[in-house]
Structure 1
């Protein structure tokens, strides 16, 4: 999990439902730590955990409960000598029983559902009054009705207030959560992080270790699944979600290998999910539906996906598009009426049963809070939408339906994945026709942007089968045009196009088109920059040969070659002893650019061994500020938060120039050291006789994000500093912290009269930021303008008003 950081402030300002779930979670810059450390890391007794669908919220709550039930509280950072009682309540189930209090519901659940013996009177009260309960309230967003959810929140608040000696955790998806449910001052907010590569690898180990007694077979399966993920970035991105990784692992277990084609993988995933719905044959035996069967469910999903996808143009929303329950019922009713040739009222009854099913089971389409439904992941919506278009074309015997969709939606980012999946599943000659239609589309500004060519190249990256046999000339034409862009001068081809070309050509590794690409490189290697060619060789399976070349170049007489070699080694990800030692040796290089690149490379490689950390600590004393700054940055990346490292980085933050200070502040945040010790040291720095130290301390406090009253008051005092640049940095920091109290606003308004022009400008910008998150700033600013309307500096207040009301162009 991670602390919310800047994301939390954006979310608090956004309100409920006004920002997409992904947009919120992507803004997180907070401190990260293992979820089982939550209770020891948080200073508050009560916390809220937010997480995307399938991120593991319910699993985490169950894990906490099991650890206490097994009498392992020390695993969670709780007192091992205390006997703890976990009280786990699913909020959706409690909402059905609002005639009962939380305690009464817990008792009924324990005695009826868990079948325990009748509990003695006052059982739960005994533990709660003693402060020995861990209260786990899971899935607040699953209380669908707004009024009911508000009532549940009120009950939770009262309950936790009554038994305030106990630890409590509340979970929700952002989509079903509102900013005013629980005050962040009392309930710190955390989010569940997606799996990184290390977590994915650990999951794969545990998955196959638990399923195969034959360790040799388990190891073979592990390596097979890891390679399948490494070979497909898009599938690996899905694997960052625990639910989707579980589905991928299921498919791999039963089929031994994952389909290389994305659309085949998604097809297998859909089948797996639909089969899991019918595990007890309730659908097949008409235990739930009167008319629908499993085949009909697939068709309904395809129809719904197409309908939802065509309703709005939503970009960058990995969870798909949410739809209102009533709209869902209406659409399902019409589709079932047509599909099964029944009366509308019969279709509506069937649609109601369908919605009940998807609410109570995990599947492709699920309830996502606030009476809204959506696909569990937008990928499934896109895949099933493509399936529906293909169905229509096949059913009508008209491939023009596919071509018309391409013409209508080409280069619309909302439709990109749909079109790629649609073209990839076509028979060879049809796929060739579709790709030819893309290549010859003549989109606007094609001579400069090359979007048609790049999309055609992306179609090849999907590896449509037997395309070479259907139209070899088309493939050669696309590859040759991409290659010509690759070798064109940088002045004639923009950076974005060049990077797209690089990604597309690299994605053709291990496809049917790999041989053609390698032939182009071999025949015309003299036209490609040596460094660029090395990057291609590394991507096409020659990484170890490339590393050998770069290690040689680290000793080149030309410093430009040496620093580029160090930089390239950092990006290749090989942290072998040979590579590490070669980079450490470059710390003695006479050129500062080489030393800087060596430090950065060591940070990127992430190997925090004692020799590496010691060498980096020594580089913090380098005579060149560029090297010192990037060294601090590297230490932050390595994540070694020992007292020695933190003290050394903190010293750079307090005593160095602004360039080094910025990187040292970043490092401390990455190391999770926005702690009381660091904050107190920075507050002390605000009193330092050296004005540079005071200014650096102000900037660092703004970056750390601690908006406590102590920090804010210390910064307010620096607004009166005798050095203008300290006043500037204090104003900037206050704007970043987001505290829009009357005292802060009034103090910043006073700075609009500062004689040094830089101070009013920065104060105005800070007020502009605060005004976007607080309603009372505008009236205060207007009052200030009215009071100073005859002054020469009134325009500074108007600048604030402009920033808040109109915004910057």
Structure 2
């Protein structure tokens, strides 16, 4: 038998087959022979199990015919294809053979496990190249490359062939950037209070955020065959700090990671810890970039022109050193740590798209971890949606959980004790004060790491009454700064008031001007604070409110920044006297500030001020809840959601209860007695209400959910609300537990009983009713798939349950469906990986779930052939009688020619007129993907008359996708621009 070949020709043929399969499965093959392609579709069946798993059933001769249709120079025969499939299996290990018998069958049935998401064809092919070369035997490389073969993983060339220690350079650069120090040190070090990161660092858990299946108007649980996890759990898995590092980073399962969270949530600190871990445990190269420092440069320009000269300590870097630096990226050794997307000198809606455009060329070979504020990440169209996204959990007080309920889980107490390690009495007194019943809201607020650090510092200086809002907490901290620096930089009360007003004016102007939002140029600061040598400018620098952070590349002038963006927002909030400021248009950028993400935190801090009249705040909340946008209500909802978040800082608001009850109604719908049915709102409204409930006044949200759980007549909604209440809002809530137990006692619908029992087991660990219900379903169900899933759920809430383990073992050994057998093995390995090494070894290898930026790939073609394809697709759209063929051709045309009006108008007409629900949904997804910002007006004008403003009626199914698309446009547009288009 001939030895397998791993050389260049085998690689080219295998790569060609993978490219054709992915292009075909993504409906993106551009061919001049559309008729032959349509004839092949029944013969080459594809199905996406997930964004990373593709199932294919076909025969070799059909694959050979497909490769002749797809553009490309390499032609494959049947033997080439068979060889490539074998290399996918035994060499790259990305193919699972699903055939019951591998000999004597002409049919090939297999699953491909991809490295990147389905649409990222270029990324998958690039990873194919890397994996192929990494796995090639050394002998194969030598034969192919001879003496001048590929370089290794070590340091590479400088002048005269000298070896460069890139690892040492990156280590020293990190040390020079002070990334081992606590981020609060600049404000405390002058008083002798300065911490190394490890002295006070308390690791936070992380949750993986994924695009959730959503339940709103989209699903009728009584008609569907499956139920969905409640939406409030955006979690697919919770990781502690070490699990995150070991599982995701050491195993290199992610090339693109985003860490998102609220201001001060510990994003930068976590990034520091990851960088330190890499230095300690690997030879990889961490490179830190404060994104605010780009100042108009691309990432590539910044790395070559700024970071590299500073790192190697050279004024001019030789070209060969630059080449060697780029080679480290090509070899996959570099980790880019991109901190604070939200602090870039760009409008927040553009920052994510700009980062996506920077991750190209040789920079794209780096693994990337970035941090971003949650409102910027979630606001509008996200060009980095392919990133694997994690959110920092807040500090915990050690609430009862399935793991334990001891003080070891009280992370707030751990942090306080570490902060006051030299003064235990202060730690005890602060913990005792937080334990008082009236401190419940403050306790919730200081789960945020930055706010807890501020609280500890102010408590150490001025022990006494604690604040009740974020604004009052920052006010206390500002006062403490002045007091503790009084000896070195004495100030009078008048000077402090003057400086606070000036800093407020500076902050307000900076936030209003997007290009200087968080990086303030010297002349700009001087206009407000005066000359830098004396007066307020100098005092702001001495006290640490402003810090020199660099030199402007374009103007050559000094650049400053507030100590932390949250302080900039606090001072801005102090400078606002009239709530109408948030409605008025910004002269330099005409837009209502209530809809702009950069003003959201300022609004909250303004509402938390204790020097503003409650009556005045009531007027603002009333203006938000009564706002009429005059264009479909899209922005009216957004204004209401701002009010809902605002009452978390203005808890005495007289409208608070009404607002929270309205959120619950939007979130879960309501029962219409005369129609005898539960009516629901459309998915965008449901989703925004869900998020707003999480951000509004917590006690009032809990009370409203408790009322809903006890009064609702819909079991599905009771389950959903009870799980949210008992797991997210108030862990272990007894009303939530009782509501879930009642469902198990009264409902016979199998899927709902299973999900409710599983939820109950997570809300109330060890609950015997939950365990008994799952055992009953395992015994009674006739579905092998359901039995496996229920057994797995039982094992997760009761790890030692013998029935769960034996059921999974039985399915793994004798399931009629091979996929159930494989999944049962995976379930067993997850539940008992320490005891089932033999099981783990028998499971097909798991592959990276890396998400990268979607890249729309166009087949190489000449001008003539491109125009031929455009003409053929345009004619094909007009001639197609089948709606789905028409959709596919329009989608291909839009990919081939972005902005093509024929393609867009065809898709818009389909979504309005088609009676096929599945096709409307696919069409909506296609439109969202290909719709350019300049085409928003066309989409709004076309869809506004069927946007389902009266969406709770019999026509909601026909209009929901139109409504979602218009909501998508509104999310990515300025309100005034949207309103103008709406009324044309």
Higher relative contact order (CA 8 A, sep 6+): 2
How far the C-alpha of 1:567 sits from its partner, in A, is: 5.1
In the alignment, is the contact (CA less than 8 A) between 1:383 and 1:418 conserved in 2? yes
Whole-Å Cα distance in 2 between the matches of residues 579 and 270 of structure 1?
Answer: 52
The yes-or-no answer on 1:494 pairing with 2:687 is: no
In the alignment, is the contact (CA less than 8 A) between 1:566 and 1:594 conserved in 2? no
How far the C-alpha of 1:543 sits from its partner, in A, is: 1.7
Match of residue 574, structure 2, among 387, 392, 405: 387
The yes-or-no answer on 1:546 pairing with 2:736 is: yes
Partner in structure 1 of residue 749 of structure 2: 559
The yes-or-no answer on 1:334 pairing with 2:527 is: yes
After superposition, the Cα gap between the structure-2 partners of 1:519 and 1:511, relative to the gap in structure 1 and judged at 3 Å, is closer
Whole-Å Cα distance in 2 between the matches of residues 135 and 455 of structure 1?
Answer: 42
Whole-Å Cα distance in 1 between the matches of residues 292 and 637 of structure 2?
Answer: 46
After superposition, the Cα gap between the structure-2 partners of 1:513 and 1:204, relative to the gap in structure 1 and judged at 3 Å, is closer
After superposition, the Cα gap between the structure-2 partners of 1:556 and 1:454, relative to the gap in structure 1 and judged at 3 Å, is same
Whole-Å Cα distance in 1 between the matches of residues 717 and 321 of structure 2?
Answer: 63
How far the C-alpha of 1:806 sits from its partner, in A, is: 0.6
Whole-Å Cα distance in 2 between the matches of residues 530 and 58 of structure 1?
Answer: 46
In the alignment, is the contact (CA less than 8 A) between 2:507 and 2:572 conserved in 1? yes
| Matched position secondary structure for 1:54 | helix
Describe the superposition over 1:442-480 as per-residue Cα deviations: whole angstroms up to 9, x where unpaired. Answer: 333677865555554444343443x45xxxxx5676577
After superposition, the Cα gap between the structure-2 partners of 1:599 and 1:457, relative to the gap in structure 1 and judged at 3 Å, is farther
Residues 659-678 of structure 1 aligned to structure 2 (within 5 Å):
673-674=846-847
Residues 398-797 of structure 1 aligned to structure 2 (within 5 Å):
408-425=592-609, 426-444=612-630, 454-465=641-652, 467-468=653-654, 487-489=670-672, 490-491=678-679, 493-498=681-686, 529=714, 532=717, 535=721, 538=726, 539=729, 543-551=733-741, 553-554=743-744, 556=746, 558-560=748-750, 562-566=753-757, 568-569=759-760, 573-576=763-766, 578=768, 581-582=771-772, 585=775, 586-590=777-781, 592=783, 595=787, 598=790, 614=805, 617-618=808-809, 621=812, 644=836, 651=843, 673-674=846-847, 704=849, 770-771=855-856, 780=861, 782=863, 785=866
In the alignment, is the contact (CA less than 8 A) between 2:743 and 2:753 conserved in 1? yes
Whole-Å Cα distance in 2 between the matches of residues 250 and 11 of structure 1?
Answer: 50
Partner in structure 1 of residue 105 of structure 2: none
Describe the superposition over 1:183-219 as per-residue Cα deviations: whole angstroms up to 9, x where unpaired. Answer: 665x655568764357895753532343368699759
How far the C-alpha of 1:333 sits from its partner, in A, is: 1.0
| Matched position secondary structure for 1:247 | helix
In the alignment, is the contact (CA less than 8 A) between 1:263 and 1:424 conserved in 2? yes
Whole-Å Cα distance in 1 between the matches of residues 686 and 244 of structure 2?
Answer: 44
| Matched position secondary structure for 2:416 | helix
Describe the superposition over 1:632-662 as per-residue Cα deviations: whole angstroms up to 9, x where unpaired. Answer: 89779x68766947956974xx6xxxxxxxx
How far the C-alpha of 1:506 sits from its partner, in A, is: 7.7
The yes-or-no answer on 1:284 pairing with 2:518 is: no
TM-score normalised according to structure 1 size: 0.51
| Matched position secondary structure for 1:389 | coil
In the alignment, is the contact (CA less than 8 A) between 1:563 and 1:594 conserved in 2? no
Match of residue 303, structure 1, among 480, 484, 505: 505
After superposition, the Cα gap between the structure-2 partners of 1:304 and 1:588, relative to the gap in structure 1 and judged at 3 Å, is farther
In the alignment, is the contact (CA less than 8 A) between 1:364 and 1:376 conserved in 2? yes
The structure in which a higher percent of residues are helix is 1
Match of residue 264, structure 1, among 459, 463, 472: 472
Partner in structure 2 of residue 173 of structure 1: 339
Whole-Å Cα distance in 1 between the matches of residues 693 and 251 of structure 2?
Answer: 50
Partner in structure 1 of residue 454 of structure 2: 247
Whole-Å Cα distance in 2 between the matches of residues 142 and 479 of structure 1?
Answer: 37
Whole-Å Cα distance in 2 between the matches of residues 38 and 12 of structure 1?
Answer: 24
In the alignment, is the contact (CA less than 8 A) between 1:420 and 1:459 conserved in 2? yes
How far the C-alpha of 1:704 sits from its partner, in A, is: 4.6
Match of residue 151, structure 1, among 305, 309, 321: 309
Partner in structure 2 of residue 88 of structure 1: none
Whole-Å Cα distance in 2 between the matches of residues 142 and 499 of structure 1?
Answer: 31
Describe the superposition over 1:79-135 as per-residue Cα deviations: whole angstroms up to 9, x where unpaired. Answer: xxxxxxxxxxxxxxxxxxxxxxxxxxxxxxxxxxxxxxxxxxxxxxxxxxxxxx999
Whole-Å Cα distance in 2 between the matches of residues 260 and 641 of structure 1?
Answer: 46
In the alignment, is the contact (CA less than 8 A) between 1:305 and 1:381 conserved in 2? yes
Whole-Å Cα distance in 2 between the matches of residues 292 and 160 of structure 1?
Answer: 57
How far the C-alpha of 1:566 sits from its partner, in A, is: 2.4
How far the C-alpha of 1:55 sits from its partner, in A, is: 2.5
Whole-Å Cα distance in 2 between the matches of residues 237 and 628 of structure 1?
Answer: 43
In the alignment, is the contact (CA less than 8 A) between 2:508 and 2:572 conserved in 1? yes
Whole-Å Cα distance in 2 between the matches of residues 49 and 496 of structure 1?
Answer: 26
How far the C-alpha of 1:335 sits from its partner, in A, is: 0.9
Whole-Å Cα distance in 1 between the matches of residues 583 and 825 of structure 2?
Answer: 54
In the alignment, is the contact (CA less than 8 A) between 1:438 and 1:456 conserved in 2? yes
Whole-Å Cα distance in 2 between the matches of residues 737 and 401 of structure 1?
Answer: 40
Give 5+ residue unaligned stretches, structure 2. Answer: 1-114, 125-207, 212-235, 261-266, 296-301, 345-354, 372-389, 398-408, 554-558, 673-677, 877-887, 900-929, 932-984
Number of residue-to-residue matches in the alignment: 568
Partner in structure 2 of residue 204 of structure 1: 412
TM-score normalised according to structure 2 size: 0.44
Residues 215-226 of structure 1 aligned to structure 2 (within 5 Å):
218=428, 221=431, 224=434
Partner in structure 2 of residue 663 of structure 1: none
Describe the superposition over 1:384-437 as per-residue Cα deviations: whole angstroms up to 9, x where unpaired. Answer: 3322113xx4xxxxx766775899444444434433432343322222222233
Whole-Å Cα distance in 1 between the matches of residues 779 and 628 of structure 2?
Answer: 55
Whole-Å Cα distance in 1 between the matches of residues 755 and 243 of structure 2?
Answer: 39
| Matched position secondary structure for 1:55 | helix
Residues 97-116 of structure 1 aligned to structure 2 (within 5 Å):
none
How far the C-alpha of 1:595 sits from its partner, in A, is: 4.5
After superposition, the Cα gap between the structure-2 partners of 1:202 and 1:388, relative to the gap in structure 1 and judged at 3 Å, is same
Partner in structure 1 of residue 982 of structure 2: none
How far the C-alpha of 1:303 sits from its partner, in A, is: 1.8
After superposition, the Cα gap between the structure-2 partners of 1:173 and 1:492, relative to the gap in structure 1 and judged at 3 Å, is closer
How far the C-alpha of 1:269 sits from its partner, in A, is: 5.0
Give 5+ residue unaligned stretches, structure 1. Answer: 14-24, 66-75, 79-132, 314-320, 338-345, 394-398, 469-473, 655-667, 675-702, 706-735, 739-768
After superposition, the Cα gap between the structure-2 partners of 1:50 and 1:416, relative to the gap in structure 1 and judged at 3 Å, is closer
| Matched position secondary structure for 2:268 | coil
